[in-house]
Amino acid sequence: LCAAVLLKDMKLMDVKLGQLPSWLAMRDFTPGGILGAVRRGYDRYYNKYINVRKGGLGGISMVLAGYVVVSYIWSYSHL
Query: What are the pLDDT digits (tens) for 20-73?
Result: 888 888 888 899 999 998 999 899 988 887 787 776 777 788 889 999 999 998
Is the whole model's pTM more than 0.75, yes or no?
no
3-state helix/strand/coil string of the chain: CCCCCCHHHCCHHHCCHHHHHHHHHCCCCCHHHHHHHHHHHHHHHHHHHHCCCCCCCHHHHHHHHHHHHHHHHHHCCCC
